[in-house]
Structure 1
Amino acid sequence: MTTLSYVNIFARQLEPLAAFYSGLLGLEEIVDSRSSIFRGFRCGDASLGISASDAYELLGLRQPTGEGERNIVTFDVESPTEVERLVEAAKGLGAEVVKEPFETYYGWYQAVLRDPEGNPFRLNHPGRRV
């Protein structure tokens, strides 16, 4: 069985972006994985990694050029009220709301945001709004 271990977000500024996600979502850092170019956080059954741009070379990847989203990270929370609370908290931490909380056609309640570096992410409650 294949499982997801990490989702990584590349950061222009490692510390501020790591602080944004860990502070907003209350994530516990995986201190053993800390380096000058990486911060890791426990996030349910998988982990969230924040990688500095130096990690591109380490991994043998090219830095992207041009604009446009290629990925979006979705964080599940326990209730629609928590989606709304976290949207307000994220705005206070410098996030931009792309789409205010809404019920999707498949019955989930979510909001779409951009972190302070412009990376898109969703706050999601996987169930119908009560």
Structure 2
Amino acid sequence: MSKLSYVNVFARDIDALSGFYQRVFGFPEVEAIRSPIFRGLDAGTCCIGFNAPDAYDLLHLTEYAETSGCKFLLNIDVDSPDDVDRMVPIACEHGATLIKSPYTTYYNWYQAVLIDPEGNVFRINHML
């Protein structure tokens, strides 16, 4: 069976952006895969990879490189609704912008929608 191993994010500053997710969620770096253009974080059931813009050329994606906009959506699950409420101000203290305060969705998840310091959308979720 296939499984998700990484979600990769193109970041202008891989150290700053991976550091943001480390400080907010406590994800440790996978130092064995560190390179000049890559940082990886162990996010539990999968990893988050942060690619420097140089990786566009490496992967032959230069013509598809976007300079702005919503390119992906990270979903980070936490253990309880209280954890969603607790993590939102921590994320904001570290540079995130709250877009939608914690709420219960029509599909019965409790979540908040935020933007990280580089403008990428992420949600903090708990499935009720």
Task: Return the TM-score normalized by structure 2.
Answer: 0.94
Q: Does residue 49 of structure 1 match 2:49?
A: yes
The whole-number CA distance in structure 2 between the counterparts of 1:45 and 1:84 is: 22
Q: Does residue 91 of structure 1 match 2:92?
A: yes
Gaps of 5+ in 1: none
Instruction: Give, in angstroms, the shift of residue 7 of structure 1.
Output: 0.2
Q: Does residue 14 of structure 1 match 2:30?
A: no
Gaps of 5+ in 2: none
Instruction: Give, in angstroms, the shift of residue 68 of structure 1.
Output: 3.0
The whole-number CA distance in structure 2 between the counterparts of 1:36 and 1:68 is: 25
Instruction: Give, in angstroms, the shift of residue 89 of structure 1.
Output: 0.3
1:10-89 correspondence to structure 2 within 5 Å:
10-62=10-62, 63-65=65-67, 67-89=68-90
- Pairwise CA RMSD of aligned residues? 1.0
**2:71/2:120 contact within 8 Å kept:** no
Instruction: Report the identity percentage.
Output: 48
Instruction: Give, in angstroms, the shift of residue 60 of structure 1.
Output: 1.2
Instruction: Give, in angstroms, the shift of residue 14 of structure 1.
Output: 1.3
What per-residue deviation string (whole Å, max 9, x for no partner) do you get for residues 21-80 of structure 1? 111110011111001111101112211111111111111113114x43232010000011
The whole-number CA distance in structure 2 between the counterparts of 1:15 and 1:29 is: 11
Instruction: Give, in angstroms, the shift of residue 81 of structure 1.
Output: 0.9
Task: Return the TM-score normalized by structure 1.
Answer: 0.93
Instruction: Look up the SS of the partner of 1:28 in the other structure.
Output: coil
Runs of 4+ in 1 over 6 A off after TM superposition: none
The whole-number CA distance in structure 1 between the counterparts of 2:85 and 2:35 is: 33
